[in-house]
Structure 1
Amino acid sequence: MPEPLRLLQVGAGGMGRAWLRTIDENPDVVLVGLIDLDLQLARTAADEHGYAEVPVAASVGELAEATEADAVIDVTVPVAHPKVSIDALLRGLPVLCEKPLAETVRECLSMVAAAEASGKLLMVSQSRRYFRTGNAFSRQLAELGPLGSLSCEFFKAPRFGGFRARMAEPLLIDMAIHQFDLARKLIGAEPVSVYCESYNPEWSWFDGNAAANAIFTFDGGTRFSFTGSWCAPGLETSWNGHWRAGGSGGTAIWDGDTAPQAELSSGSALPAAVGDEPEQIAGSLTEFVRAVREGVVPQSEVHANVVSVAMVEAAVRSAATGSQVLIADVLADAYAEAIATERDGALRAVLESWPSVQKVVGLRT
């Protein structure tokens, strides 16, 4: 048995505590340090989760060498992801970063450059990729032949308060990346363009647009439609949404929680094969450990994950302009901005070495 991976976790808030529990339940990892700008918060979180002997600090640099850490889990707020993850990468530490990778595609590209400059893995925890019933749905879709359409309906009525209540596009920016990213996995292709409208019902308790409709065209012609609202009380969907896929060989549906259902064009049912693999962030952590140990490329490796963030940015741009937006255009604009604003000479050199930003992140050109 290999020695457990020695982890530093950055972030001790609500999501950080969920990660502390997940780390404790995985025998392949061990927490060796907890980092947060609020040292008292970090100490309290560590103590309450059985890590009384684990040191706390305000930065990765204070603990990286002293603890002989092998990797970093970045569970900070999104605005801090670039700084924390890039610092860890340039210290030679692989990073598993909570979603979204960053607030802008421009920042994401600098994070890609840091991963390339350091030669270390940067993976994003897209937890919706690790639901057992969702994986069963994905396997059913593979049996349906080419997909013509995929749809997701998402209707919830959370009253978060805080920063979400004040965002201009809370649904698209804070939530929809889950469904947009999962659509890429389910379709097995990359997005080309999007037309999106966002709005705010008159009864909404959000300041910004809490509802949206988006239609993505994917490479190969598949359409993915997303209809959602964060101010939809009554008959709410799962947090994963309600999904339907139509292919040349039949149709499959998934309610976001339970086993999916599928019917072939012959009229016969296609059973769901639900596995017992780790779910949600436990699934992310398991895949990260394997990737670090074996050098395999995981789901949501940083290069590919940039496309999911670009889908969100493209949808927001489309809603603002009232026109269809190309994903490639969003990437091109972000790339130009990244080169113009990147202050680290080594990272800027990596950015400038790319022959095509679209190719770097896996899009066709």
Structure 2
Amino acid sequence: MSGRPAFATVPPGGPLRVVLVGAGVMARYWLRAVQDSPDVVLAGVVDIDAAEARKAAEETGAGAVPTGTTLTALAPAARPDAVIDVTVPVAHLPVTLEALGLGLPVLGEKPAAATLPEALRLAATAGLAGRLFMVGQTRRYHPQLSAFREHAGRLGRLAVLTTEFFRAPRFGGFRDAMDHPLLLDMAIHPFDTARWLLAAEPVSVRCEEYSPSWSWYAGDAAATAVFEMTGGIRYVYTGSWCSPGLETSWNGRWRLSGEHGSAVWDGGRALDVAAAAGRQAAPAPGPVTAARGVAGALAEFVHALRTGTVPMGEIHDNIMSLAMVMAAVESARADRRVRLDELLDTALAEAIAASPGPEADLLRSWRTDGRFPAAGRVTP
């Protein structure tokens, strides 16, 4: 596969009509963003629990929007232009396949799918359908992060990027029972951010998972991962969800070292740069929107559908962020260094075996260089 992903656009003519699939906790964040945006209007809410779908719709104050238990049944009444998927990860594959089958573009919550083979299948399906599937990596939409990336372009050749993430949330529910709660539910945000900041791709990883004796999680809730990135750069992530006191922001604490200086970001407002005098570089491109978080992802999704511009988080690009997570999990499980190309080859073979004819044929074409050739990687 070569070139950039192509997808159908939505012509201008009033706000984009969106159906929200999933009415859990995260749905409330997205519903608020939909309410606050002049560019979209809520066309319906779907949830496997009909009462929850109705409750979520009522809470928005959007009026009598259609609700239901399946997207296919709701679509004729809702007449959506697009779908926002905020279901649990295991539902991302069937929900996205259903939406694409109806000819609807999808803005999904991370991760793209519960497994890497499933994410590859969704990339193939989106390509065949000619519809946009974008994963909302909402942490990219932060003004200080964009400034951090701009300054990174002034540091010359880069050597090492580090993230420290220490918090002690007590979520309850499914996260407490997960096997790899930190890596699977949270680490994709900094891993995805690291790719974007460095404009580099992962080559290999060595990761260890562990938990302190006082951990309230069933699985390991702390990890340290060292990624080799293209260009010889190292990305080092250390995080814990069992670290009360002196907690970092939810974005973590970042430090980047290059040949002409360093940059430090506390994940909030503080950005400190020390670069050699006279060293300048063209600013790196940031998001197409100034909106933050969920609102930023929604705004870029709408912009992409109106203009055909490939957005950050487009599925072909986002697969590499999910691959970093899965490689880290495999490294910790097997206690060895894991190469991303080997992991992707295995995932691609599994995706081909699980896919129907046209999807399988397209996936086979991606094996030409022994690695998933994600179009539009790293930069939108």
Query: TM-score category by the smaller chain?
Result: over 0.9
Letter in 1 for 2:312: Q
Question: Is 1:64 aligned to residue 75 of structure 2?
Answer: yes
SS of 1:298 mapped into structure 2 = coil
* Match status 1:162 vs 2:136: no
Q: Rate the CA distance shift 1:200–1:68 in 2: closer, same or farther, 3 A.
A: same
Q: Percent identity?
A: 50
Unaligned ranges ≥5, structure 2: 1-11
Shift, 1:186, TM fit: 0.5
Q: What does residue 60 of structure 2 align with? A: 49
Question: 2:41 matched to 1:30?
Answer: yes
Query: Which of 239, 259, 262 pairs up with 1:251?
Result: 262
Amino acid of the structure 2 residue aligned with 1:235: L
Q: Distance in 2 between matches of 1:149 and 1:254?
A: 14
Choose which of 291, 315, 332 in structure 2 pairs with 1:302. 315
Name the CA distance, whole Å, in 1 between partners of 2:186 and 2:240. Answer: 10
Paired with 1:52 and 1:44, the residues of 2 have a C-alpha distance of 12
Q: How does 1:17-166 map to 2 (within 5 A)?
A: 17-166=28-177
Pick one of 361, 367, 376 that aligns with 1:349: 361
Secondary structure of the residue aligned to 2:41 is strand
Deviation by residue 1:292-341 (Cα, 9 ceiling, x = unmatched): 11111111100110111110110011111111101111110111111122
Q: Shift of residue 358 of structure 1?
A: 2.4
The residue that corresponds to 1:180 in the other structure is 191
Task: Report matched runs for 1:252-291 at 5 Å.
Answer: 252-266=263-277, 277-291=290-304
Question: Structure 2: how far apart are the matches of 1:130 and 1:137?
Answer: 12
3-state SS in 2 of match to 1:30: strand
- The answer to whether structure 1 residue 328 and structure 2 residue 341 are counterparts is yes
Deviations 1:31-74 (A, max 9, x none): 11111111111111111111231010111111223332111101
1:292 pairs, out of 269, 282, 305, with 305
User: Is the CA contact 1:23–1:31 (under 8 Å) kept in the aligned structure 2?
Assistant: yes
Q: Is the Cα contact below 8 Å between 2:44 and 2:57 reproduced in 1? A: no
Aligned residues: 362
- Paired with 1:310 and 1:41, the residues of 2 have a C-alpha distance of 33
**1:102 aligned counterpart, secondary structure:** coil
- The structure with higher relative contact order (CA 8 Å, sep 6+) is 2
- Give, in angstroms, the shift of residue 268 of structure 1: 10
Q: Does the 8 Å CA contact 2:18/2:84 hold for their aligned counterparts?
A: yes
TM-score by length of 2: 0.91
Instruction: Confirm or deny: 8 A CA contact 2:154 2:280 kept in the other structure.
Output: no
Instruction: Tell me the amino acid that sits aligned with residue 149 of structure 1.
Output: V
DSSP 3-state at the match of 2:123: helix
What is the deviation of 1:349? 2.9
Structure 2 CA distance for aligned equivalents of residues 248 and 65 of structure 1: 58
**TM-score normalised over the length of structure 1:** 0.94
RMSD: 2.2
Provide runs of 4+ in structure 1 moved above 3 Å.
Answer: 266-270, 272-276
Tell me the distance in 2 between the aligned counterparts of 1:304 and 1:199: 30
